[in-house]
Amino acid sequence: MDAFDVNLPRDIDACHELILELDRERRRQAAVIAQQQETIAQQQETIDRLQSDVDLLKRTLYGRRRERFVDDSQQGLLFDSTIVGADDDSGSGDDEESDDDEPSPERRTSKGRGRRLFPDLLPRKTVRHELDEQEVPEELRNDPTARRFFKKTSEQLEFTPASIHVIEHYQEVIVRDEASGETTIVSATKPPQLIDAYAGPGFWAHLTASRFADHLPYYRQEDILSRHGCRIGRGTQQRWLFALALAVAPLVELMRRLALQSEVLGCDETPVKMLAGEPSGCTKTYLWSTVGDNAHPYDCFHFTPDRSRAGPEQFLAGFQGYLQSDAYTCYERIAAADDQIVPVGCWAHARRKFEEIHFSAPSVRTHTALGYFQRLYDIEDRARDSSVSQRGAKPIVTEFHQWLLEQHERELPKSKLRAAIAYMTNRWQSFACYLDHGAIPIDNNRTEAALKYAVLGRKAWLFFGNSQGGETAATFFTLTKSCNRHHVDPFAYLRDVYTRLPSTPASDLPSLLPDRWIDEHPQHRLQERADEARQRADRKRARRAQRRVPAATPR
pLDDT of residue 205: 96
Residue 311 has pLDDT above 80, yes or no: yes
- The model's confidence at residue 65, banded by pLDDT at 50, 70 and 90, is low
Residue 76 sits at the vertex; the CA angle it makes with 70 and 77, to the nearest 5 degrees, is: 150
Q: Which residue has the higher pLDDT, 234 or 79?
A: 234
- Measuring CA to CA, how many Å separate 146 from each of 139, 141, 328, 419? 10, 8, 82, 87
Kind and range of the H or E run holding 98: helix 95-101
pLDDT of residue 97: 39
- The model's confidence at residue 47, banded by pLDDT at 50, 70 and 90, is confident
- Measuring CA to CA, how many Å separate 286 from each of 289, 395, 471? 10, 39, 11
pLDDT in tens, 128-145: 988 888 888 888 888 888
pLDDT of residue 381: 83
User: What is the pairing mode between strands 173-177 and 183-187?
Assistant: antiparallel
Question: Is 13 in a helix, a strand, or coil?
Answer: helix
Closest CA to 427 of 349, 317, 315: 349
Q: How far is CA 205 from the centre of its chain?
A: 24
pLDDT of residue 15: 85
| For the ranges 71-85, 87-101, 109-123, 293-307, the one whose mean pLDDT is highest | 293-307
pLDDT of residue 441: 92
Q: Distance between CA 130 and CA 321 in Å, rounded? A: 70
Any idea how long the chain is? Answer: 555
Residue 91 has pLDDT above 60, yes or no: no
Closest CA to 297 of 265, 331, 275: 265
pLDDT in tens, 476-495: 999 999 999 999 999 999 99
Q: Is the dihedral of CA 66, 458, 305, 265 positive or negative?
A: negative
Show the beta-strand stretches assigned E in 314-356: 321-324, 341-344
pLDDT in tens, 224-261: 999 888 889 999 999 999 999 999 999 999 999 999 99
- The model's confidence at residue 84, banded by pLDDT at 50, 70 and 90, is very low
Q: Distance between CA 404 and CA 373 in Å, rounded? A: 12
* Mean per-residue pLDDT over the chain, rounded: 85
Residues 140/146, Cβ–Cβ less than 8 Å? yes
pLDDT of residue 92: 39
Residues 276/467, Cβ–Cβ less than 8 Å? no
Please list the residues that pair with 343 across neighbouring strands.
Answer: 323
- Measuring CA to CA, how many Å separate 97 from each of 100, 144, 549? 5, 68, 10
Average pLDDT over residues 66-74: 60
Q: Distance between CA 212 and CA 221 in Å, rounded? A: 12
pLDDT of residue 268: 95
370 contacts: CB under 8 Å, gap ≥ 6: 69, 84, 351, 354, 355, 358
Residues 416/321, Cβ–Cβ less than 8 Å? no
Choose the weakest-confidence range: 89-103, 321-335, 380-394: 89-103
pLDDT of residue 391: 63
Q: Which residue has the higher pLDDT, 119 or 390?
A: 119
Residue 90 has pLDDT above 60, yes or no: no
- Measuring CA to CA, how many Å separate 287 from each of 47, 355, 465, 471? 35, 27, 14, 9
- The model's confidence at residue 178, banded by pLDDT at 50, 70 and 90, is confident
Average pLDDT over residues 419-448: 93
pLDDT of residue 359: 86
Q: Distance between CA 228 and CA 257 in Å, rounded? A: 40
**Domain edges within the chain:** 199-254+466-541, 360-438
Q: Distance between CA 440 and CA 443 in Å, rounded? A: 8
Choose the weakest-confidence range: 60-64, 140-144, 149-153: 60-64
- The model's confidence at residue 107, banded by pLDDT at 50, 70 and 90, is low
Closest CA to 24 of 4, 16, 38: 16
pLDDT of residue 279: 61
- Measuring CA to CA, how many Å separate 229 from each of 200, 220, 484? 17, 15, 31
Q: Distance between CA 303 and CA 470 in Å, rounded? A: 6
Residues 274/282, Cβ–Cβ less than 8 Å? yes
- The model's confidence at residue 106, banded by pLDDT at 50, 70 and 90, is low
pLDDT of residue 179: 85
Q: Distance between CA 392 and CA 92 in Å, rounded? A: 9
Count of CB atoms situated within 10 Å of the CB of 305: 14
Q: Roughly what angle, to the nearest 10 degrees, separates helices 234-247 and 218-227?
A: 110
- The model's confidence at residue 111, banded by pLDDT at 50, 70 and 90, is low
Average pLDDT over residues 52-59: 80
Show the beta-strand stretches assigned E in 128-208: 173-177, 183-187
pLDDT of residue 102: 45
Count of CB atoms situated within 10 Å of the CB of 534: 11
Kind and range of the H or E run holding 265: strand 264-278
Choose the weakest-confidence range: 4-8, 272-276, 447-451: 4-8
pLDDT of residue 59: 75
Q: Roughly what angle, to the nearest 10 degrees, separates helices 347-360 and 12-62?
A: 120
